[in-house]
Amino acid sequence: MVHQLTVAVVGLGSMGLGMARSALRAGFTVRGFDINPNALHALETDGGVATTAPRDAADGADIAVVVVVNAAQTEAVLFGDNGIVSSMRPGSVIISCATISPSEAKDFALRVEAAGLLYLDGPISGGSKKAALGELTFMASGSPHAFTAARPALDAMAGTVYELGDKPGIGSSFKIVNQLLAGVHIAAACEAITFAKSLDLDISRVFDVITKSAGNSWMFENRIPHVLAGDYTPHSAVSIFTKDLGIVSEIGRKQKFPLPITAAALQLFIMTEAAGMGRDDDSSVARLLAKIAGLELPGMSEEI
C-alpha cells in the first residue's frame, strides 16, 4: 500500500491558504493551522483538516510548510510551547517560507537539524494568485536530503524551484535581494502614478501607456490596478515591506554597504504604516503621497 503523504501548512493567510489548496489538489492529506478561524473554515471546506495548534497540524506529518510573517513567528511555530519540531518524526522536513535574515535561517536550521529533522530554507515569491495556482517561485537552499524530502510539496506548490545551494541562509539571501527590488519598485510605482495625478492626467490612461513602455515594471503592472480601483484589500500589506526593507537596511548597516534607494523606499512604507495603513495593501503608499499633496485618488472620497 502506497503511503499517502501528509503535508502540514502553518499559516493560512493569502499565501498559505493557496499553498494548502495546491497540496490538496495534488492528492495529499493536508492539515493546517492559523489563528484566523475563517482561514481554518476555508481549509476544511476544501477538504483539509483544521487543527487547534501548530504541533497538532504537524503531528506525524511528512512535510511541514511554515508560511508566517516574520522570524519571531517562525521561531514560535518551530520551537514554542505548541511548536512543530517536537511533534514531527525524525527525517521529516520543514520548509520555512517567511522572509527572514540569512543569519536567522542558519540558526533555525541548526536547531531543527539538532532535533533530527530536515530544514529547507525556502522563501517564496509570486503573491496570492500564484499561490492559489500552485505556481510560486521558491528560492531554496538546504541539504540534498532536505530537497528530496520536500520535493513532493514543492512540485505541488511551485512553478519554479531554484536550488541555490546546500546550506540554509542562501535562499534567504536571494529573497532579501528580491525584496529590496520589490519594495523599491512598489514605492516608485506609487510615486509615479500619484505624480501623474498631480499633472492632471487620466491615470488609467497613464497605466495603459506605461505598461507598454520602457518605464514599466512588474510591480507597476501588478499594483497600480489596486490604486485605479481604489481597492486596498491587502494582497501584500504595507507592514510586510516595513519589515523586509528593514531587514535589508540592517544587513547593509552591518556590512557597511550603502543602500540609499532602499532607505528612501523604507521611509515611505514607515510613513504609510504610521498613517494607519499598515494592514492595507502596499500600494497604499500612493494614498499617503496623495494625502500629502492634497490629491484625491479613486476611493479616497469614501474614506472617513
Cell of 18: 493557496
Q: Which residues contact 28 (CB under 8 A, 6 or more apart)?
A: 4, 5, 6, 7, 152, 153, 156
As a whole number of angstroms, the distance between CA 60 and CA 175 comes to 30
Kindly write down the DSSP assignment for every residue of 14-47, as one continuous string. TTHHHHHHHHHHTT-EEEEE-S-HHHHHHHHHTT
Tell me which of 130, 175, 197, 243 is the catalytic residue.
175
Cell of 195: 505624480
CA dihedral 94, 98, 103, 109 (to 10 degrees): 0
- Strands (E) located in the chain: 6-10, 29-33, 49-50, 63-66, 93-96, 118-121, 124-125, 136-140, 158-163
Residue 231 phi, psi (nearest 5): -115, 110
Residue 137 phi, psi (nearest 5): -100, 125
291 is catalytic: no
Going by C-alpha positions, the residue among 107, 116, 106 that lies closest to residue 141 is: 106
- Half-sphere exposure in the Cβ direction for 253 (13 Å, CA): 7
As a whole number of angstroms, the distance between CA 6 and CA 149 comes to 12
Going by C-alpha positions, the residue among 179, 125, 171, 128 that lies closest to residue 146 is: 171
Q: In a 10 Å sphere around its CB, with 0-12 CB exposed, 13-18 middle and 19+ buried, how is residue 202 labelled?
A: exposed
Residue 207 phi, psi (nearest 5): -60, -45
Enzyme catalytic residues: 175
